[in-house]
Structure 1
């Protein structure tokens, strides 16, 4: 759960030994009843968990991501709107920017309803994601010595070139030029 989030439930859990405590305790810990007296000890993950970046496995990187996210969150408007709720949700898992359907489900609404509510505030989901990525990118470029490749990965880009292209679109310059401009100032 530390790597995949509090709502993570393995698809299967197996133990070689027989049940040792009440079934409810296993369900509490694993979210499901394990198979006992199996030929192996195993925890199987759902296939979609492979799509979730596990940045938290490096405690220093996770701490940095959380700190930077908290900084940005502090700058956000005090008004508690659906836009703020979406931003908050996106900042909870550093480096993981799920699709609108996933966020809508977490907010107990359909993707269509979330799109409509965001439109009422004059913003789209992708704009929120891009704004957060741009803010985080500036934070990482200004406040760390991380390589561009690392920053791209932290922002959910599989290819640093895609990150560089997006950053140029957001700021008018390449990430390295942005960082160099800071050191000249």
Structure 2
């Protein structure tokens, strides 16, 4: 389900142009005032209706409009790529030509892939970045046929009033007021070969964009039920895979197969949940690193250090220091008393 705040953000594109929103809401099967979450299909229908009304598939959030049909051309541009990395680099070049600003760059370092968004005109709305991430991440997941778990999502601008919905939507640590907007995931995914062909693309486009909103969401399917079960207990008490399958009344082979079809493994999910807890505690909590390692079920702090560096490219201590580093103050905010004048 899609939160009402995201519907309102999409409708703002119409308001800026003086276009009546009610006919488009009716077309999407929504009430005149949306106060309850809507389905991905309804939101997808609204996205298409807005794009038709303003001839912009990016809701007017970029320097230039993204004319209708651009997303289809983007899909065709990446279909022949030999790897996800090649597909992503093509997609980012395509979007830079179309949107001009913002534009994305793929950076690979220390086992992590980062799509960094650049803004010539200063920070944009969180909704603009979210729309960009939906297209790029959703299309990437479809191309390789599996969900790409996110390690972190950074937003350059300030948090919106409904910032909690962003954290729920991405299912990964989300930070606002960052120097750059970026989407971070494991670089190993870049090596995977696309599995789609022209026939699959035609079917995909018939269901877009609703399918990229729901098909590879972190909160759908068997993996979501497994996450919910693990969240209900401390990480130090998480069972082994065989025991977990028995608790879920499934043969271990069946559970493993279902997770594989969703592009997940038990270890992936445990890592994802541990990373989310760890980053939040390092950002906002007061636990010592050794205590946090034990709380997360690691046998020794060094194992946690290795895992955290694999997740983020930094040690826990480095991550905490950088996250809590005070912003530099301007000359007028140095705290020194002003000089008196006669």
- In the superposition, the TM-score normalised over structure 1's length comes to 0.57
**Mapped partners of 1:119, 1:171: distance in 2:** 24
The Cα offsets for residues 129-177 of structure 1, whole Å up to 9 and x where unpaired, read as 1111111110111121110011001100120110011000110010000
Shift >3 Å, 4+ stretches = 73-80
**Mapped partners of 1:165, 1:178: distance in 2:** 13
Q: 1:107 aligned to 248, 252, 255, which one?
A: 248
Whether 2:223 is the aligned partner of 1:83: answer yes
- Seen in structure 2, the aligned counterparts of structure 1 residues 178 and 79 have a Cα distance that, compared at 3 Å, is closer
The Cα offsets for residues 51-91 of structure 1, whole Å up to 9 and x where unpaired, read as xxxxxxxxxxxxxxxxxxxx9x9554585410001101111
Q: 2:257 aligned to 116, 125, 134, which one?
A: 116
Secondary structure at the residue paired with 1:132?
helix
Aligned pairs (5 A) from 1:145-156: 145-156=286-297
**Mapped partners of 1:78, 1:119: distance in 2:** 14
Aligned pairs (5 A) from 1:1-185: 74=168, 76=171, 77=217, 79-95=219-235, 96-184=237-325
Whether the 8 Å contact between 1:157 and 1:163 is mirrored in structure 2 is: yes
The Cα offsets for residues 105-126 of structure 1, whole Å up to 9 and x where unpaired, read as 1111011111000001011111
173-182 vs 91-100, which deviates more? 91-100
Q: Which residue of 1 aligns with 2:90?
A: none
CA RMSD of aligned residues (A): 2.0
Secondary structure at the residue paired with 2:271?
helix
Gaps (5+ residues) in structure 2?
Answer: 1-164, 172-216, 328-342
95-104 vs 75-84, which deviates more? 75-84
Gaps (5+ residues) in structure 1?
Answer: 1-70
Q: How many residues in Structure 1 have an aligned counterpart in Structure 2?
A: 114
Instruction: Give the strand-richer structure, 1 or 2.
Output: 2
- Seen in structure 2, the aligned counterparts of structure 1 residues 159 and 183 have a Cα distance that, compared at 3 Å, is same
**Mapped partners of 1:121, 1:78: distance in 2:** 10
- Seen in structure 2, the aligned counterparts of structure 1 residues 171 and 78 have a Cα distance that, compared at 3 Å, is closer
Secondary structure at the residue paired with 1:108?
coil
Whether the 8 Å contact between 1:134 and 1:170 is mirrored in structure 2 is: yes
**Mapped partners of 1:139, 1:97: distance in 2:** 20
Whether the 8 Å contact between 1:89 and 1:103 is mirrored in structure 2 is: no
Secondary structure at the residue paired with 1:114?
helix
